[in-house]
Amino acid sequence: MRPGFYAPSLSLLGHTRPGRDQSYLGEDIGLVDDPQRNGYHFNVRNGASSRDGLADCNGEATRTTYYASASPLVVSRTGTRSFATSQSNGIWQLSGSNPPPEPFGDPAQFVR
């Protein structure tokens, strides 16, 4: 698999692109690195074996892998499962407040 060049944080995805008045993410989730929305805490960070990538269209550094997660703010009240994904495009779930770790596999379950 050829590595891609991914933003290392949600706030970088929330920056407005050159020549555009919109960012890739809405303000409610792209203004900070660890937003809370709909009872979940979201995060994007460097994935396993991540290395420096090329600069993006805003001149910001990128990474060759990413790890994105969502976990309930209060288990059994706002959610019962945590989720994670990476550049492999699969979504994994795990019961509780800790998202599936990399590398993905048991006891986490593949969702999609």
DSSP 20-76: -S-BSS-HHHHSSSS-EETTEEEEEEE-TT--B----TTS---BS-EEEEEEESSBT
**Is 72 within the bounds of a domain?**
yes
Residue 15 maps to a domain:
yes
Torsion of CA 96, 101, 104, 106, to 10 degrees: -50
Query: What are the beta bridge partners of residue 92?
Result: 84, 110
* Residue 60, in any domain of the structure: yes
Residue 25 placed within a domain: yes
The position carrying tokens 């993410």 is: 25
pLDDT of residue 4: 80
Counted domains in the chain: 1
By the 10 Å C-beta count (0-12 exposed, 13-18 middle, 19+ buried), 100 is classed as: buried
Task: Find the domain containing 81 and state its range.
Answer: 10-110
Residue 1 covered by a domain:
no
| pLDDT band (50, 70, 90) for residue 1 | very low
Site of tokens 């290395």: 51
Please tell me the predicted confidence (pLDDT) of residue 38.
94
Average pLDDT of the residues of the chain: 90
Residue 17 lies inside a defined structural domain of this protein:
yes
The encoded tokens of residue 53 equal 């990538």
pTM for the complete prediction? 0.88
Is 3 within a domain?
no
Alpha-carbon span 6 to 11, nearest angstrom: 13
Residue 109 confidence (pLDDT) above 90: yes
**Residue 5 domain flag:** no
